[in-house]
Structure 1
């Protein structure tokens, strides 16, 4: 094994999509079936399958699932970018629901709009299997540097 394979990750920037999915087992993101498919400081992608367990009483996917995906992917990307400098926390999540979904696999892509010393702003676009926009969200993240 190489040093890279044996050395434990020191920050989110060091984690692969597979490692993120592994450490997410048992979390809320895992409960909704979110799988990170690509992870890095400039882009994070994920997918999940809409099932009846994720529906609201009207028989469509609950908006809370979309908000969770938006928050999770933006925070993952923001954490990967901020790296060993500290941690990031979400301070605002604004998600617009554009199209109702009852079933199928949805994908989401998070990309940064702004990355500053104290805050970041990420956008997340959710699409269905036909490429139609299902939701669009923005998450503002606070960068919390480690104390010296």
Structure 2
């Protein structure tokens, strides 16, 4: 079945309920043929002690977006997606506003997928660059 971009975003945002993604305020905002985008508010809730965005929150955002992308692009409710490797380089500090994570697929395999996630600030400046490998597993009943 073919879903509209709005339906895909609604499903992704619904999956965030009662999860870490909801706790962090992650919201999916855009999806296309080879990418998916989400944003996260930068507030004291995701700061490290000196008042800037915690790298762990950035990594959680990146893995959430890449994993959602793998689930969406595999187009199956019979699988689950797990992150199996993640590497992040943090380049710029952010104190407030929103950060945006755009996950672009590099390798779209049936078992493994490779994602590049660029996290930017509201001005479009690169904040973090992340590489994520995901694994697709059959859903256990």
Say yes or no: TM over 0.5. Answer: yes
Question: Would the aligned equivalents of 1:14 and 1:80 in 2 still touch at CA under 8 Å?
Answer: no
2:54 alignment counterpart: 62
* Structure 1 counterpart of 2:117, from 113, 124, 137: 124
* Structure 2 counterpart of 1:24, from 16, 19, 40: 16
Partner deviation per Cα, 1:86-138 (whole Å, 9 max, x = no partner): 22211011111111111111111001011223211001001111110000101
Aligned-partner Cα distance in 2 for 1:144–1:126: 27
The alpha-carbon distance between structure 1 residues 140 and 14, as it changes in their structure 2 partners (threshold 3 A), is farther
What TM-score results when the alignment is normalised by the length of structure 2? 0.86
Aligned-partner Cα distance in 1 for 2:29–2:6: 15
Question: Would the aligned equivalents of 1:125 and 1:137 in 2 still touch at CA under 8 Å?
Answer: yes
* Structure 2 counterpart of 1:49, from 41, 51, 57: 41
Structure 1's unaligned 5+ residue stretches are none
In the alignment, is residue 74 of structure 1 matched against residue 66 of structure 2? yes
Q: Which has the larger radius of gyration?
A: 1
What TM-score results when the alignment is normalised by the length of structure 1? 0.82
Aligned-partner Cα distance in 2 for 1:94–1:140: 9
Aligned-partner Cα distance in 2 for 1:146–1:89: 11
RMSD: 2.3
Structure 2's unaligned 5+ residue stretches are none
The alpha-carbon distance between structure 1 residues 107 and 58, as it changes in their structure 2 partners (threshold 3 A), is same
In the alignment, is residue 138 of structure 1 matched against residue 131 of structure 2? yes
Deviation at 1:47, TM superposition (A): 0.8
Query: What secondary structure is seen at the aligned counterpart in 2 of 1:75?
Result: helix
For residues 84-123 of structure 1, what are the structure 2 equivalents within 5 Å?
A: 84=76, 86-123=79-116
Number of residue pairs aligned between Structure 1 and Structure 2: 137
